[in-house]
Amino acid sequence: MAKQPGAGNSLLKYLAVRFTLIFPTVLILITMVFIVMRSIGDPITAALGGKLSNEELEIRIEAAGYNRPILVQYFEYLGQIFRGDFGSTLTTNKPITDLLGTYGMATLELAVYAILVALVVGIPLGMLAAKRRDTATDAGLRLFAILAYATPVFFVGLLLKLIFAVTFPILPVNGRASVNTELAITLMDNPTGIYLIDAIRLGEAEFIFDVISHAILPGLALGLLTAGIFLRLVRTNMIGTLNTEFIEAGRSRGVRESRLVTSHAFRPALIPIITVIGMQIAVLLSGAVLTETTFEWKGLGFQLAQYLNARDYVAVQGIVALLAVIVALTNFLVDVLVALVDPRVKF
């Protein structure tokens, strides 16, 4: 995210301005989602039309207040969101914020695995490509990066399943854990919802192994997408940094090329990565919807797809609004982090 000009000359002032920006951003997104989702009529008819008689529909529409002027509904909705109430699903009548506790953790877990894969694969390969610039290695790595971007996550997922779960059945096909493990985690005290942590807390090697083996394929599928982006980014930045004067100075002092890459150019080339991780949150969330659907990984994205198919647009609106808030908050945190790390950002 580019910083607004005139953001002030102190870190504190910048942070304050950046923080206030969260509100209009969330407001814009929530308004858009509201307009889009309401332009198809009231959600009750959409979800239950045809299943209930017209009289029953009328009663439920009136009870939920969907017959009132749209502006009244809009401001009421904003008020609700402001109080942290994202509504309840129509079909299962669960508060949306509860979904965050149950399924959000699953999505968070998947996203963390994916980012780990992306960092471990993307950064070293990007540095290698920059160092071996314009050689066959570089070309191969760039092709890999483009392929990682060009292949839809769900197709990567299907391929991985086909290879590692069907042709060579060494990993499970679907889900977050096998039935036994899931049962043990549900029955434990205060499960975090992050299965790996829960399995470690249970302390049984079998559970830990089970959870990890379920996470490998989805984590890879989602992680490779981002790994390609990281690889390209690190390569481009590293090449740019390797051309700068301070690297030239190091080179003329006789510092070895490999040391220039791993030590001197590493930090400046890495700062954009933090910014991009922030922007990747949006990509990861889109990808999570697809990855979770492919692997029946029961997270927010999987749940969203279920509600979409059930035409429960109250749930859809709630989940999307909640994600808007999460995205805005994450972007704020990333900007703060960049401001703290990047020496070029002066206050």
Q: What are phi and psi of 49, to 5 degrees?
A: -55, 135
Residue nearer to another protein on the CB measure, 36 or 70: 36
Give ∠ CA 180-184-188 in degrees, rounded to 5. 175
Q: Helix crossing, 105-131 with 195-202: angle to 10°?
A: 110
Residue nearer to another protein on the CB measure, 34 or 207: 34
What does the alpha-carbon distance between residue 186 and residue 154 come to, in Å, rounded to a whole number?
28
Least Cβ distance, residue 81 to another protein (angstroms) = 15
What does the alpha-carbon distance between residue 86 and residue 99 come to, in Å, rounded to a whole number?
10
Provide the 8-state DSSP code for 165: I
Residue nearer to another protein on the CB measure, 92 or 174: 174
Least Cβ distance, residue 346 to another protein (angstroms) = 21
Tell me which residues touch another protein (CB under 8 A). 1, 21, 24-25, 28-29, 32-33, 36-37, 39-40, 134, 136, 138-139, 142-143, 146-147, 149-152, 154-155, 158-159, 161-162, 165-167, 173-174, 236, 239-240, 243, 279, 282-283, 285-286, 289-290, 293-294, 304-305, 308-309, 313, 316, 320, 323-324, 327-328, 331
What does the alpha-carbon distance between residue 252 and residue 110 come to, in Å, rounded to a whole number?
45
Residue nearer to another protein on the CB measure, 207 or 226: 226
Least Cβ distance, residue 219 to another protein (angstroms) = 18
What does the alpha-carbon distance between residue 264 and residue 238 come to, in Å, rounded to a whole number?
10
Least Cβ distance, residue 137 to another protein (angstroms) = 11
Least Cβ distance, residue 190 to another protein (angstroms) = 30
Residue nearer to another protein on the CB measure, 147 or 200: 147
Residues 232, 126 contacting (CB under 8 angstroms) = yes
Residue nearer to another protein on the CB measure, 61 or 239: 239
Burial of 230 (C-beta count, 10 Å sphere; 0-12/13-18/19+): buried
Least Cβ distance, residue 245 to another protein (angstroms) = 14
Q: What are phi and psi of 272, to 5 degrees?
A: -60, -25
